[in-house]
Structure 1
Amino acid sequence: MRRTISGRPLAMAAVAAVALGGLSLPAWADPNDPGNAPSQQQVDAARAAADAKAHTVRGVQTRLDAANARLESAEMRASMAAEAANGAIYHLQLAQAAAAKADAAEAKAKRVLRTHKAAYTDLVARTYEQQPQLQAINAMTTQARPRAMFSSASTTYQLTRAMDDIETGYRDAAAKAGAAADTADKARAHAASLAAQATAARQQAQASADNAAAEADRVAQQKKKLVGELAHLQHISVELASQRQAALEEQRRRAAAAAARARAEAEARAAARAAAQKAAADKAAAAAAAQQGGSAPAPAPAPAPAPPVSSGGVEAVISYAKAQLGEWYLWGAAGPDRWDCSGLTMMAFRQAGIYLPHFSGAQYDAGTPIPVSSARRGDLLFWSSNGAPSGIHHVAIYLGGGQVIEAPHAGAQVRIRSMDYWYPDFAVRL
């Protein structure tokens, strides 16, 4: 006996079919049988339900994307504030060193001034006692023999010259002491100003770190709820929905990193072409000058790149960094079990005898810039907020093979990750 289906079960089947992308009937339903054909109302309802479902899934996905963007923005702000504070502290330390140097110069100038002052005072006292000019006049009027008169005049001249020299030395020393005092006053004032800025930067870094941590908690709770909604809408388990969402986010991160890599490689190729063109132009200019019987100035040789850290030094650096895997990020920390990005790199390179400042911007300045595509194991990689060295806010150590080791951000641990996750802007070799 042939089985027929009509009414609600058939309508549900039609809705399911439309929701899956098109209207079709089960294989066991005869579309030529008027009793089995869905009504227009059923078709419209099925399409409306499918559209509503897709719109709802898209809406949930949009909210997930927005939550991720908020978290990334908070982490970026915290990273930038942390390295800005490290930079403020670094510049404060430089200013304090300059102030100490100025203080030492002022103290030395004052000691020299005291020496000149004592010599000048002593000479004035002795000159007053001896009254050489009066003696010289007396000699000219009373001395019987010219030799004695000239002897007294010579003595007067020598004392006068000595007095002039000491007076000149005293004035020079006084001027230098005054200038040193002014320099020291300005250096101390500058250091005091930077101290205030460093205090404000510390407070901002702490506030940004706290905000990023709070945002991470809020986003985690929101994503948990949204992934649950996705699972319900897609009729899958929460675990599977979580896996799909993680895969989607990873795919987007890789796409963004691939685009950044492509831009960096294009810039490197453009720089190489520009260098080749300049070399060709220099060669042509030299050849033209030689044909005219003149001589063109030799082009300035390209600066030699800094020699890389020895292989043993590189491995010491990386071994030290790997020993910190799993330890938590803490802004301003440089061990023994808490780290920020530049604190980890600073202490790691110290194992190779390289002393870096605790500031990613200054660590960039300490090395020789190279194309990111030319980075080797042990090089430093940098990320910038504005595409320029002035915007550097994060640093990591390149392990080779597209892997980096880093202290990433608040709420995270020292880790190894793929460079494709977040492609760097700059690289330097120490």
Structure 2
Amino acid sequence: MHKRGPTGRCRRLSVALGLLVSVVVAMTAGPTAAVPPAPPNPSDSEIADAGARVDAGVTEVGALINQVGAVNQQLQELDDAVARKREEVNKALVDLQNARDAADAAAAVVVQTQADLSEAGTEVARARRNFDEFATQAYTRPAGGSMVTYLSASSPGGAIDRSQLLGLVTKNQQQVLDELRRAQIAEGNRNSSARQAKSEADAAAALAEQKKIDAEHAVSAAKAELDQQTVRRDDLLRERDAAQGRLDIARADVAGLQSQRAAFLAWDERRRAEEAVIRAAAEAAAARAAVDQAARDRAAQAGNGRRPHTQLESAPGPRQSRPRPSGPSVHGSQAVEIVVDRALSQLGVQYAWGGGDEDGPTLGIRDGGVADSHGDFAKVGFDCSGLMIYAFAGIGVSLPHYSGYQYNAGTRVPVDERARGDMLFWGPNGSQHVALYLGDGKMVEAPESGDVVKVSPVRESGIMPYAVRIVT
């Protein structure tokens, strides 16, 4: 399991300072902007020989386009199913840690009330001993010079006065005993309530533990299905590659290699422009994030005392030195830019399922399926919800490590009214994926195993009808 410590802080600093390298990695590892794959770039001799072949294959092109579209739809459905199973395990882990925290708190109350009850019993016993000693001395051993001796007159009047004084002292002592007994009863009732609360918290923790076990069993059961889906996915990919190859040939026949050359030159110019814009934005974001000590302090406070997401054992979580904030400590456009800067500062950092916290990338965890096949458990990086935790921690917001819970973390706005700094979600109740909207149709995300944190065009297919706005 990944542990926070000085080595993690050094690693995160090196990620921020090494942004130029990470941007290059992001550019080479996969598309980082709304630029399509490169079209063919024919040679001059191929263009010269293509004049006679420009009229062939128009009907086949339309059929191939439809075939590729159908295959892509099947692949998207498989990817959605895998995303749901991954995030269900995240949900079970969060629920388990919350239940354990409640059980720990209830146990602490039981211990305190038991100590208070013992102290109350001690006070009652001490008061009773003092009263008994006073009564014994008053009636059996009057001492010279004491108040009892003073009142031990031989006359009837003196005896009455002595009796009245002793009765008054006895009454006051009895009142003290009664008050102590009432306090003892109250502490006993409080201890009983605390024990009931602990019993309920223990039951909730046991239920959460069972849910964790069920989630682990679900992952094991899903592995067989994922194996079958992987075989089907490979078949679909081969079909898609074959269709794309035929489509490329048909396009060459229909449009002519000359138009392909023009398309390639236009594509290359657009790619260079997009990469220059992203590189400049990423460099500026990394520079701001690297020097923004206030954001790092807010992030540290947001993660203060949080039980690590990957901690599965029942050990107590870290102690909180200060209370975690419940909402953003920075507002407006300044807060939006801090969140965006922190997300963009991680471009090129590899995907690791279950990875990421308020301080930066962390070691991933096993899922028994696709993430394991990519070795995510041995990588230091982010998954989709982990990247959101890191981005928003810079303004003092602590998010849970599950996209479905993040969907309920702020104010929902219609997705068509989304603004820079809003979170976008996919899947039922946001349970499959989450990304940060940058504006102009782009978002930054940690997409899937084998990929890296990158800027992508917003995918409208399957997007939830609402975006979530944390910064107001």
Task: Flag whether TM exceeds 0.5 (same fold).
Answer: yes
Tell me what 1:363 maps to: 406
Q: Distance in 2 between matches of 1:235 and 1:350?
A: 46
Tell me what 1:265 maps to: none
Q: Distance in 2 between matches of 1:227 and 1:101?
A: 57
> Given residue 395 of structure 2, which amino acid in structure 1 is its aligned partner?
A
Q: Residues 351 and 453 of structure 2 are in contact (CA less than 8 Å); yes or no, is this contact kept in structure 1?
A: yes
Give yes or no for the alignment of 1:179 onto 2:179.
no
Q: Distance in 2 between matches of 1:118 and 1:205?
A: 55
Tell me what 2:436 maps to: 397
Q: Residues 96 and 205 of structure 2 are in contact (CA less than 8 Å); yes or no, is this contact kept in structure 1?
A: yes
Shift of 1:203: 5.4
Q: Distance in 1 between matches of 2:209 and 2:344?
A: 34
Q: Distance in 2 between matches of 1:125 and 1:114?
A: 17
Tell me what 2:75 maps to: 71
> Given residue 427 of structure 1, which amino acid in structure 2 is its aligned partner?
A
Tell me what 1:419 maps to: 458
> Given residue 342 of structure 1, which amino acid in structure 2 is its aligned partner?
S
Change over 3 Å in CA distance of 1:223–1:314 after alignment to 2: same
Tell me what 2:339 maps to: 317
Shift of 1:116: 0.5
Tell me what 1:169 maps to: 183
Give yes or no for the alignment of 1:84 onto 2:81.
no
Q: Distance in 1 between matches of 2:230 and 2:384?
A: 19
Tell me what 2:468 maps to: 428
Give yes or no for the alignment of 1:144 onto 2:183.
no
Bigger radius of gyration among the two? 1
Shift of 1:206: 7.3
Q: Summarize deviations over 1:350-386 as a string: whole Å, max 9, x none.
A: 233322221223323332222222221111122242x
Q: Residues 367 and 428 of structure 1 are in contact (CA less than 8 Å); yes or no, is this contact kept in structure 2?
A: yes
Q: Distance in 2 between matches of 1:317 and 1:88?
A: 27
Q: Distance in 2 between matches of 1:162 and 1:83?
A: 60
Q: Residues 71 and 216 of structure 1 are in contact (CA less than 8 Å); yes or no, is this contact kept in structure 2?
A: no
Secondary structure of 2:342's match? helix
1:199-348 equivalence runs, <5 A: 199-202=213-216, 204-205=218-219, 208=222, 215-216=229-230, 218-225=232-239, 228=242, 236=249, 309-334=331-356, 335-336=361-362, 337-348=380-391
Choose which of 98, 110, 129 in structure 2 pairs with 1:94.
98
Q: Residues 75 and 212 of structure 1 are in contact (CA less than 8 Å); yes or no, is this contact kept in structure 2?
A: no
Secondary structure of 2:408's match? helix
Shift of 1:415: 2.9
Secondary structure of 1:354's match? coil
Shift of 1:180: 0.7
Change over 3 Å in CA distance of 1:20–1:416 after alignment to 2: closer
Q: Distance in 2 between matches of 1:327 and 1:238?
A: 37
Where relative contact order (Cα < 8 A, 6+ residues apart) is larger, the structure is 2
Q: Distance in 1 between matches of 2:228 and 2:238?
A: 16
Change over 3 Å in CA distance of 1:405–1:240 after alignment to 2: farther
State the identity as a percent.
26
Give yes or no for the alignment of 1:125 onto 2:129.
yes
Number of equivalences: 308
Bigger shift: residues 334-343 or 203-212: 203-212
Tell me what 2:421 maps to: 378
Q: TM-score, normalised by structure 1?
A: 0.60
Q: Distance in 2 between matches of 1:92 and 1:417?
A: 33
Q: Residues 71 and 240 of structure 2 are in contact (CA less than 8 Å); yes or no, is this contact kept in structure 1?
A: no
Q: Distance in 2 between matches of 1:352 and 1:407?
A: 20
Shift of 1:308: 7.9
Secondary structure of 2:128's match? helix
> Given residue 166 of structure 2, which amino acid in structure 1 is its aligned partner?
S
Bigger shift: residues 191-200 or 368-377: 191-200
Tell me what 2:299 maps to: none
Q: TM-score, normalised by structure 2?
A: 0.55
Secondary structure of 1:366's match? coil
Change over 3 Å in CA distance of 1:113–1:219 after alignment to 2: same
Shift of 1:315: 2.6
Bigger shift: residues 333-342 or 142-151: 142-151
Q: CA RMSD in A?
A: 4.2
Secondary structure of 1:417's match? strand
Q: Distance in 2 between matches of 1:321 and 1:223?
A: 31
